[in-house]
């Protein structure tokens, strides 16, 4: 299949258009909302801060929100692309893989029983949660002679998600105070989060993005199959482990910032592959850009659908992503 | 010794045989259920000895014991039995037709669909009689089944596609529930959240009347269709070649399964993994023939839920843990074991 953007100049032009789109969406996200402001007010908030409501909204609410959506969206998009390449499975996603549920469980456990509230601890705990659940799902999904199959992976993910969710429920029933603290976070949102969360995990995110691009070429080789990759002299296990680490960093830091948000990572790699074909480097780059764009757009939409209440963005992306998941499940699995 | 007990009339117009082993295990399960029921009725804030429970049952005990047993504890126990049976039977049917040992209404999103309808009912039809909850949940479950089936349909439905799309629908259902709860009045949010975890806290005789007929009737109906399930288990090709209307039967059975799930959800909320565990235990005991597996699975489901509820009620007393937490804690590892065991399928 020939991709839409089939030569390098076109792809670079695509990236530029994508970046413009991101800029525009960021602008829209800054300006529109329950309190409509203007671009001028947004700039004034930083240059001539006067303590008015609009300025405070922009500085304290809108800007963190845009930055969160950009960083988390890109991370989720790239994580999805990595997962789908690593498992050679068109329906892989951090949510379906139980990574979100695992991270959420660990965080709730830490809040209820250990009483942890420091940001760094929070981050590391969600990394750990994502890593543990991801590893378990991966191992469960790859049991057996035919190796990783989408069905086994999906079922393993569903089981781990259910287990984590019920354990989480149990803890929250025992400790109602924790419920209030984490319930909002559990619903997944890029709004209402202070910038400190993002600041705490941003270095990991950047490292993971860089890692993804460094791994792009080995992963391309790996996509031809383990045997071929080994034959070409690749240390496949190392590549897989590294990919796993990058995925965990991306999803763990996303969860720490925004709570569980699913399906961004499911959709973006498909769109990216449609646009730029199978070159993993381009796919990762486009997945990142598209992930940011989707999350920003979803966040803006979430404000308006049920104004003045806000739909949790995790629910939004799930509701948009599920039809896509079903489409892929109907179409994509026949070939295997 | 023959392993079957034949039942026939002289003319031969009626013939039926019962597997002796099945009969034996069913009897054992029944006895066990009875024993646990009596124990469960006796345990709680005020302990009553099993003997006194029996006395209260027969109307010979003290008045206070009788009140506690008959009015406070018995409805809950009966609900546990009914919900467990419904889930066990629903799981057995689903595993029979999907031919996947990992299928269960909660994993395929049927429970989720029922829960969406029920939450919508709880939150937006506050004033309506609670009697309407089971039909609503049933409607939700059936509708979800329709959608699931339609989406999985592509020149017939393969079990594999059904499972994958079911998982998707389950996640969509939980997203819808989040949104519904978010847009509801604050006072009702807690009610809905607690109900969702799967709990049979605070049920009374009205609940029993509400779902009792459904559950019993539907299980009987499923038992009548047992032969069709047996044929389905052989695979689509074989089933077609012996003259079974494969897609039609599968659909009818799915509807029964949805109805059972709806009944269970309307009272118990999302109690997960019972529907997965029970049929497996039943098949281990009496083999895969559906005529035997269905009743035993229903019994085992009852037993599991009864024990889980007993623990949920007493272990952290006075806090009443939702029973769904316990069933998942046992069920999810079992599911993982099943994944491991079926790794080469």
Residue A45 above 70 pLDDT? yes
Return the pLDDT at A336: 41
CB A228 within 8 A of CB A336: no
Query: In total, how many domains does chain A have?
Result: 1
A1 domain-assigned: no
Cα(B282)–Cα(B285) distance, integer angstroms = 5
The helix/strand/coil state of B8 is strand
List, in order, residues 6 or more apart from A286 with CB less than 8 Å away: A14, A15, A18, A268, A271, A272, A275, A276
B163–chain A Cβ distance below 8 A for any pair: yes
The rounded percent of chain B whose pLDDT value lies above 90 is 0
A154 domain-assigned: yes
Residue A133 above 80 pLDDT? yes
B175, A325: Cβ pair inside 8 Å? Answer: no
B339, A140: Cβ pair inside 8 Å? Answer: yes
The rounded percent of chain A whose pLDDT value lies above 70 is 89
pLDDT digits (tens, 9 = 90+) for A164-187: 877 777 777 776 666 666 666 676
CB A119 within 8 A of CB A127: no
Name chain B contacts of A89, Cβ cutoff 8 Å. Answer: none
Q: What is the CATH number of the domain that holds A141?
A: 1.10.3470.10
* Ramachandran area for residue B271 (φ above 0: left; ψ -120 to 50: alpha; else beta): beta
Cα(A317)–Cα(A264) distance, integer angstroms = 7
- Most confident among A201-210, B11-20, B158-167, B325-334 (mean pLDDT): A201-210
List, in order, residues 6 or more apart from B289 with CB less than 8 Å away: B19, B22, B230
Residues B261-268, mean pLDDT to the nearest whole number? 83
CB B248 within 8 A of CB B122: no
Return the pLDDT at B16: 64
Cα(B213)–Cα(B319) distance, integer angstroms = 31
Distance from CA of A210 to the nearest CA of B (A): 31
CB B141 within 8 A of CB B83: no
A3 domain-assigned: no
Q: What are the distances in angstroms from CA A30 to CA A58, A113, A189, B40?
A: 7, 38, 16, 59
**Chain A contacts in chain B segment 271-310 (CB below 8 A):** 272-273
Cα(B71)–Cα(B236) distance, integer angstroms = 49
Residues B82-97, mean pLDDT to the nearest whole number? 86
Residue A149: how many other CB atoms lie within 10 Å: 18
Beta partners for B5?
B18
Average pLDDT, chain A: 80
A140 domain-assigned: yes
B34 domain-assigned: no
In this complex, the residue of A150, A151, A162 whose CB is nearest that of residue B272 is A162
Q: Any idea how long chain A is?
A: 336
- Helix axis angle, B205-224 relative to B290-314, nearest 10°? 160
Residues B247-267, mean pLDDT to the nearest whole number? 83
A302 domain-assigned: yes
A2 domain-assigned: no
Helices (H), B153-245: 159-182, 186-197, 205-224, 226-232, 236-241
B290 domain-assigned: yes
Domain that holds residue B319: 80-341
Return the pLDDT at A335: 45
pLDDT digits (tens, 9 = 90+) for B275-324: 888 888 888 887 777 777 788 888 888 888 888 888 877 777 667 777 77
- E strand or H helix that includes residue B323: helix B323-341
Return the pLDDT at A130: 86
Return the pLDDT at A255: 83
Q: Which of A133-147, A185-199, B111-125, B292-306 has the lowest mean pLDDT?
A: A185-199
B265 domain-assigned: yes
Q: In the 8-state DSSP scheme, what is residue B70?
A: I
Return the pLDDT at B213: 83
Residues A29-43, mean pLDDT to the nearest whole number? 75
Beta partners for B16?
B7
Cα(A149)–Cα(A236) distance, integer angstroms = 19
B324–chain A Cβ distance below 8 A for any pair: yes
Domain that holds residue A248: 8-332
B144–chain A Cβ distance below 8 A for any pair: no
Maximum distance among all Cα pairs of chain A, rounded to whole angstroms:
67
The b/e string for A257-280 (b: 16+ C-beta within 10 A; e otherwise) is bbbbbbbbbbbbbbbbbebbbebb
In this complex, the residue of B163, B168, B197 whose CB is nearest that of residue A326 is B168
pLDDT digits (tens, 9 = 90+) for A211-227: 888 888 888 888 887 78
**Chain A contacts in chain B segment 93-112 (CB below 8 A):** 102, 106-107
CA torsion through residues B140, B145, B146, B150, sign? positive
Distance from CA of B329 to the nearest CA of A (A): 7
CB B308 within 8 A of CB B330: yes
Distance from CA of A252 to the nearest CA of B (A): 20
Q: What is the CATH number of the domain that holds B160?
A: 1.10.3470.10
B179, A319: Cβ pair inside 8 Å? Answer: yes
Please provide residue B83's backbone torsions phi and psi, each rounded to the nearest 5 degrees: -65, -45
Name chain B contacts of A312, Cβ cutoff 8 Å. Answer: 178-179, 182
Return the pLDDT at B73: 78
Structure-derived torsion over alpha carbons of residues B296, B300, B306, B312, reported in degrees to the nearest 10:
-160
Query: In total, how many domains does chain B have?
Result: 1
Beta partners for B19?
B4
The rounded percent of chain B whose pLDDT value lies above 70 is 84
A155, B107: Cβ pair inside 8 Å? Answer: yes
* Interface ipTM > 0.90: no
* Ramachandran area for residue A149 (φ above 0: left; ψ -120 to 50: alpha; else beta): beta
Q: What are the distances in angstroms from CA A22 to CA A63, A69, A268, A273, B163?
A: 14, 11, 15, 19, 37
Beta partners for B15?
B8
Of B216, B66, B218, A294, nearest in space to A286 by CA: A294
A90, A140, A156, A169: best to mutate for the B interface, most B CBs within 10 A = A169
- Side-chain-side CA neighbours of B228 within 13 Å: the count stands at 19
CA B244 vs. chain centroid, Å, equals: 27
Of A35, A29, A32, A24, nearest in space to A65 by CA: A29
- Most confident among A74-78, B18-22, B66-70, B248-252 (mean pLDDT): A74-78
pLDDT digits (tens, 9 = 90+) for B185-243: 767 777 777 677 666 666 777 777 777 888 888 888 888 777 777 777 777 777 777 77
Cα(A157)–Cα(B126) distance, integer angstroms = 36
Beta partners for B4?
B19
CB A132 within 8 A of CB A104: no
Cα(B135)–Cα(B117) distance, integer angstroms = 10
Q: Could you tell me which residue, B233 or A75, shows the higher pLDDT?
A: A75
Q: Could you tell me which residue, B100 or A86, shows the higher pLDDT?
A: A86
């Amino acid at each position: 299949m020939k991709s839409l953007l089939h030569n390098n100049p076109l792809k670079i032009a695509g990236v530029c258009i994508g970046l413009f789109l991101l800029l525009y969406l960021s602008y829209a996200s800054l300006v529109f909302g329950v309190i409509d402001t203007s671009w001028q007010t947004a700039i004034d908030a930083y240059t001539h801060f006067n303590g008015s409501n609009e300025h405070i909204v922009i500085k304290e609410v809108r800007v963190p929100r845009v930055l969160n959506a950009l960083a988390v969206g890109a991370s989720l998009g790239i994580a999805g692309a990595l997962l789908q390449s690593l498992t050679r499975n068109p329906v892989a996603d951090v949510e379906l893989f139980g990574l979100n549920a695992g991270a959420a469980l660990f965080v709730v456990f830490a809040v209820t029983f250990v009483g942890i509230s420091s940001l760094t601890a929070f981050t590391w705990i969600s990394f750990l949660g994502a890593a543990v659940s991801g590893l378990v799902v991966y191992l469960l999904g790859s049991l057996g002679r035919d190796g990783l199959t989408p069905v086994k992976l999906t079922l393993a993910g569903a089981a781990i998600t259910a287990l984590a969710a019920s354990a989480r429920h149990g803890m929250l029933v025992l400790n109602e105070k924790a419920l209030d603290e984490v319930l909002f976070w559990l619903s997944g949102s890029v709004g209402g989060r202070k910038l400190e969360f993002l600041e705490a995990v941003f270095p990991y995110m950047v490292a993971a993005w860089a890692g993804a691009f460094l791994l792009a070429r080995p992963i391309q080789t790996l996509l031809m199959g383990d045997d071929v990759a080994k034959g070409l002299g690749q240390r496949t296990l190392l590549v897989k482990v590294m990919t796993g680490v990058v995925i965990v960093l991306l999803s763990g830091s996303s969860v720490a910032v925004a709570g569980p948000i699913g399906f961004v990572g499911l959709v973006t790699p498909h769109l990216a592959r449609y646009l730029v074909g199978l070159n993993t480097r381009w796919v990762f780059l486009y997945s990142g850009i598209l992930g940011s764009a989707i999350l920003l757009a979803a966040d803006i939409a979430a404000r308006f659908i049920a104004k003045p209440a806000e739909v949790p963005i995790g629910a939004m992306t799930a509701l948009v992503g599920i039809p896509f998941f079903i489409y892929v499940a109907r179409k994509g699995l026949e070939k295997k | 010794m023959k392993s079957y007990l034949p039942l026939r009339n002289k003319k031969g117009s009626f013939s039926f045989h019962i597997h002796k082993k099945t009969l034996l295990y069913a009897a054992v399960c029944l006895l066990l259920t009875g024993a646990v029921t009596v124990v469960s009725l006796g345990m709680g804030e005020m302990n009553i000895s099993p003997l006194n429970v029996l006395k209260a049952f027969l109307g010979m005990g003290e008045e206070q014991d009788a009140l506690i047993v008959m009015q406070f504890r018995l409805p809950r126990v009966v609900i546990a039995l009914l919900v467990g049976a419904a889930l066990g039977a629903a799981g057995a049917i689903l595993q029979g037709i999907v031919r996947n040992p990992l299928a269960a209404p909660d994993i395929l999103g049927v429970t989720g669909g029922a829960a969406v309808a029920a939450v919508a009912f709880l939150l937006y039809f506050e004033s309506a009689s609670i009697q309407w909850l089971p039909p609503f949940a049933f409607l939700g479950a059936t509708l979800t089944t329709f959608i699931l089936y339609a989406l999985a349909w592509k020149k017939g439905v393969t079990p594999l596609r059904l499972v994958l799309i079911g998982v998707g629908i389950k996640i969509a259902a939980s997203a819808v529930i989040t949104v519904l709860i978010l847009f509801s009045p604050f006072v009702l949010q807690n009610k809905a959240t607690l109900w969702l975890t799967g709990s049979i806290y605070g049920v009374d005789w009205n609940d029993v009347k509400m779902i009792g007929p459904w559950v019993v009737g539907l299980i009987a109906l499923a038992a009548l269709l047992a032969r069709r399930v047996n044929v389905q288990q052989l695979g689509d090709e074989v089933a077609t070649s012996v003259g079974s209307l494969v897609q039609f039967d599968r659909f009818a059975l799915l509807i029964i399964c949805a109805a059972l799930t709806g009944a269970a959800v309307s009272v118990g909320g999302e109690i997960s993994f019972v529907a997965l565990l029970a049929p497996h235990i039943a098949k281990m005991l009496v083999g895969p023939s559906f005529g035997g597996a269905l009743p035993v699975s229903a019994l085992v489901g009852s037993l599991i839920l009864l024990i889980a509820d007993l623990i949920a009620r007493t272990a952290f007393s006075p806090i009443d843990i939702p029973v769904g937490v316990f069933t998942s804690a046992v069920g999810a590892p079992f599911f993982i074991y099943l994944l491991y065991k079926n790794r080469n399928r």
